[in-house]
Amino acid sequence: MKVRKWFMLLLMFVLCIPTMGISVQAAQTSPGISIYLDGQQIKSDVAPYIIPKANVTMVPMRVIGENLGAEVNWEPKSQTATISKQDTLLSMTVNQKNALVNNNSVPLDSSVQNKQGRIMVPLRFVSEQLGLTVNWEDKTRTIRLQSGNVATMTPPPQDVLSETGGMEPSTPVVTNGELRGVWISTVYNLDWPSSGSYGNPAKQQQEYIQLLDELQAMGMNAAFVQVRPSGDAMYPSTLVPWSRFLAGTPGKDPGYDPLAFMVEETHRRGMQFHAWFNPFRATTDAKTDQLPANHVIKQHPDWIVNANKKLYINPGIPAARQQIINEVMEVVQRYDIDGVHLDDYFYPSNVAFADDAAFKAYNSKKIVSKADWRRDNINQFVQQLNQSIKSVKPHVQFGISPFGVWRNSNVDPTGSDTKAGVTAYDHMYADVRTWIQQGWIDYVTPQIYWSFSFAPAQYDKLVTWWANEVQATNVKLYIGHSPYKLGTAEAGWQSAQEIINQLNYNQMVPQVQGSIFFSAKDLRKNPLGLLPALSSYYNR
Segment 300-336, tens digit of pLDDT: 999 999 999 999 999 999 999 999 999 999 999 999 9
Mean pLDDT of 363-384: 98
CA dihedral 149, 150, 155, 159 (to 10 degrees): 60
Residue from 80, 119, 111, 76 nearest 95 by CA: 111
In the prediction, which pLDDT does 9 show? 46
In the prediction, which pLDDT does 150 show? 37
Over 60: is that where the pLDDT of 1 sits?
A: no
Reduce the DSSP state of residue 338 to 3 states and report it.
Answer: coil
In the prediction, which pLDDT does 412 show? 98
Segment 400-412, tens digit of pLDDT: 999 999 999 999 9
In the prediction, which pLDDT does 155 show? 34
In the prediction, which pLDDT does 147 show? 66
* Higher-confidence position of 256 and 18: 256
Give the DSSP H/E element, type plus range, for residue 399: strand 397-400
Mean pLDDT of 4-17: 43
Mean pLDDT of 79-85: 86
Distance CA 433, CA 441 (A): 11
pLDDT > 70 fraction of the chain, expressed in percent and rounded: 86
Q: What is the mean pLDDT of the chain?
A: 87
Over 70: is that where the pLDDT of 4 sits?
A: no
User: How are beta strands 304-307 and 310-313 bridged, if at all?
Assistant: antiparallel
Segment 138-176, tens digit of pLDDT: 667 788 776 654 333 333 333 323 222 333 445 555 566
| Lowest-confidence segment of 79-83, 271-275, 326-330 by average pLDDT | 79-83
Mean pLDDT of 19-31: 39
Tell me the whole-structure pTM to 2 decimals. 0.75
pLDDT > 90 fraction of the chain, expressed in percent and rounded: 66
Mean pLDDT of 205-229: 97
The burial of 383, by beta-carbon neighbours within 10 Å (0-12 exposed, 13-18 middle, 19 or more buried), is given as middle
Q: Are 319 and 327 in contact (CB under 8 A)?
A: no
Over 90: is that where the pLDDT of 487 sits?
A: yes
Domains of the chain as residue ranges with CATH: 34-147 (3.30.457.10), 179-539 (3.20.20.80)
Mean pLDDT of 481-503: 97
Distance CA 217, CA 535 (A): 8
Distance CA 506, CA 456 (A): 20
Q: Are 154 and 210 in contact (CB under 8 A)?
A: no
In the prediction, which pLDDT does 98 show? 85
Residue 135 has, within 13 A of its CA and on its CB side, a CA count of: 19
Segment 427-484, tens digit of pLDDT: 999 999 999 999 999 999 999 999 999 999 999 999 999 999 999 999 999 999 999 9
Mean pLDDT of 488-508: 97
In the prediction, which pLDDT does 26 show? 36
Q: How far is CA 374 from the centre of its chain?
A: 27
In the prediction, which pLDDT does 161 show? 30
Over 90: is that where the pLDDT of 267 sits?
A: yes
Output b/e per residue, 141-180; b: 16+ Cβ within 10 A.
eebbbbbbeeeeeebeebeebeeeebeeeeeebeeeebbb
Distance CA 65, CA 523 (A): 28
Reduce the DSSP state of residue 157 to 3 states and report it.
Answer: coil
Segment 283-307, tens digit of pLDDT: 998 889 999 999 999 999 999 999 9
